[in-house]
C-alpha cells in the first residue's frame, strides 16, 4: 500500500518544493517598496550595494531641468556613493542641435559628466544659451575644467554622437514617450518621479542587498 503511493507522494513533494521556490522568487521581487514597473525583456544592471539611476532627458526640456535641480540633486545627497546617476540623452524638443548632448557624452568619457550636465542645464535654462559653437564651448570647458584640444578631438571622433544614437535607440526600445523618464538598474521604470517615491524604491533595493 505504502509502496504503491510512493511515486505520488514524491511528485506531490516535488510540486510543493518547486512552488515554494517560485513563490520565494516572486516574494523577493515584490518585496520592493514604492511605485515602479518592471520592464519586460530588459536585463538588470544592478550592482550590489549601489543603484543605477538612468535619467532619459533632454537638455532643452524645462521639466528635465527642474527634475535634475530639485529631485536628482537631493537623491545624490541622500544616497551618496550608493547611487550612480547616468543621463541618457533623448532629444524631444524640436529644432535643437545635438551639440549639447555630444558635449555631455564627451565629458563623461573624460570624467566630468556630472559637472558638464549641471553647466549645460544652467546655460540653456538660466542664461538662454542654445548654440554651443567653438567659442561658447571653450568658455564652458574652462568652467568644467577640461582640456580644449582633447575635448574637441573627442567630439570630432564622432563617438559622442554615436552614443547619443544608442541612447535614443534604447529609449525607443522601452517605448519612452516623454522626458524625463527614469529607469532604475536598467529594468525598473519609475512613473511617479517625486523625491519621496524614488527614495522609497531606491532604499528598498539597497535594503534587499543587505538581506541577500
Per-residue pLDDT reduced to its tens digit, 167-203? 999 999 999 999 999 999 999 999 999 999 999 999 9
The reply to whether 111 and 49 lie within a common domain is yes
Percent of the chain with pLDDT over 70: 86
The reply to whether 107 and 136 lie within a common domain is yes
pLDDT at 7: 44
Predicted TM-score of the model (pTM):
0.82
**Helical segments of 53-158, H only:** 62-67, 73-79, 99-109, 113-125, 134-144, 148-156
The reply to whether 165 and 111 lie within a common domain is yes
Q: What is the pLDDT of residues 63-82, one digit of tens each?
A: 999 999 999 999 999 999 99
Name the domain count of the chain.
2
Main-chain phi, psi angles of 44, to 5 degrees: -80, 140
Quick one: DSSP state of residue 56? E
The reply to whether 52 and 10 lie within a common domain is no
Instruction: Please name the residues in contact with 152: beta carbons below 8 A apart, sequence gap of 6 or more.
Output: 134, 137
All 3 cell numbers of residue 170?
Answer: 534604447
The reply to whether 77 and 116 lie within a common domain is yes
The reply to whether 128 and 172 lie within a common domain is yes
The reply to whether 2 and 75 lie within a common domain is no
Q: Domain with 207 in it: what CATH number?
A: 3.40.30.10
The reply to whether 138 and 198 lie within a common domain is yes
Q: Could you tell me the residue range of the domain that residue 23 belongs to?
A: 1-30
pLDDT at 28: 40
The reply to whether 18 and 59 lie within a common domain is no
In 150-204, the DSSP E strands lie at 181-184, 188-190
The reply to whether 26 and 86 lie within a common domain is no
The reply to whether 150 and 187 lie within a common domain is yes
**Chain centroid, CA 91 distance in Å:** 16
pLDDT at 211: 87
Amino acid at each position: 500500500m505504502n509502496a504503491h503511493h510512493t511515486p505520488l507522494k514524491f511528485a506531490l513533494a516535488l510540486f510543493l518544493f518547486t512552488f515554494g521556490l517560485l513563490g520565494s522568487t516572486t516574494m523577493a521581487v515584490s518585496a520592493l517598496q514604492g511605485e515602479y514597473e518592471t520592464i519586460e525583456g530588459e536585463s538588470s544592471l544592478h550592482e550590489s550595494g549601489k543603484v543605477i539611476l538612468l535619467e532619459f532627458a533632454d537638455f532643452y526640456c524645462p521639466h528635465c531641468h527642474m527634475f535634475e535641480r530639485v529631485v536628482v540633486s537631493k537623491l545624490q545627497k541622500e544616497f551618496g556613493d550608493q547611487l550612480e546617476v547616468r543621463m541618457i540623452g533623448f532629444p524631444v524638443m524640436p529644432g535643437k542641435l545635438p551639440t549639447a548632448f555630444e558635449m555631455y557624452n564627451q565629458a563623461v568619457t573624460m570624467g566630468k559628466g556630472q559637472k558638464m550636465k549641471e553647466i549645460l542645464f544652467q546655460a540653456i535654462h538660466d542664461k538662454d544659451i542654445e548654440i554651443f559653437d567653438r567659442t561658447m564651448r571653450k568658455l564652458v570647458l574652462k568652467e568644467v575644467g577640461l582640456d580644449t584640444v582633447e575635448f574637441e578631438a573627442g567630439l570630432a571622433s564622432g563617438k559622442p554622437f554615436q552614443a547619443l544614437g544608442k541612447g535614443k535607440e534604447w529609449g525607443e526600445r522601452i517605448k519612452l514617450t516623454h522626458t524625463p523618464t527614469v529607469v532604475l538598474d536598467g529594468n525598473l521604470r519609475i512613473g511617479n518621479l517625486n523625491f519621496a517615491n524614488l527614495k522609497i524604491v531606491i532604499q528598498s533595493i539597497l535594503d534587499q542587498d543587505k538581506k541577500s
